[in-house]
Structure 1
Amino acid sequence: MSLLLKIDRYLRRTNMSRTQFGRLAVNDPRLVTDMVRGRVIGPAVAARITRFIDGTEA
């Protein structure tokens, strides 16, 4: 599953905005919108996002 799809599913489940997610996950409110527009993120940021999602769903 792509990271963007994982984020989208998380946002739907939690009713969280893209801005709030980016701010909480990696301190970047434009993260998700930029990813949708083609921004490529590095492995360190991807790991932080995954840890955030996994940590809040535990």
Structure 2
Amino acid sequence: MENELLQKVEEYLTHAGLSPTRFGRIVVHDPRFVFDLRAGRRPRRKVYGKVTAYLVAHGA
């Protein structure tokens, strides 16, 4: 589940040309979010839902 989310986020960052820090700030108000995901962070359901909803809304 987490790996799938990280993969989708990474693809979106590449496609959108967005930095990991900016993405984290925009979506979950946490500039370290993507870096923490890369390090193995397991987001809670609410955060997972926010990120997934953002990606869907922005065509990822």
Asked if these proteins are the same fold (TM beyond 0.5), I'd say: yes
Count of matched residue positions in the alignment of Structure 1 and Structure 2: 58
TM-score normalised per structure 2: 0.88
TM-score normalised per structure 1: 0.91
Q: Which of 13, 16, 31 in structure 2 is aligned with 1:14?
A: 16
**Greater RCO, CA 8 A, separation 6+:** 2
Q: Deviations over 1:27-48 (max 9, x none)?
A: 0000000110111111110000
- Deviating above 6 A after TM superposition, structure 1's stretches of 4 or more consecutive aligned residues are none
- The one-letter code matched in structure 1 to 2:16 is T
- Residue in 1 aligned with 2:6? 4
Q: CA RMSD in A?
A: 1.5
Gap runs ≥5 in structure 2: none
Gap runs ≥5 in structure 1: none
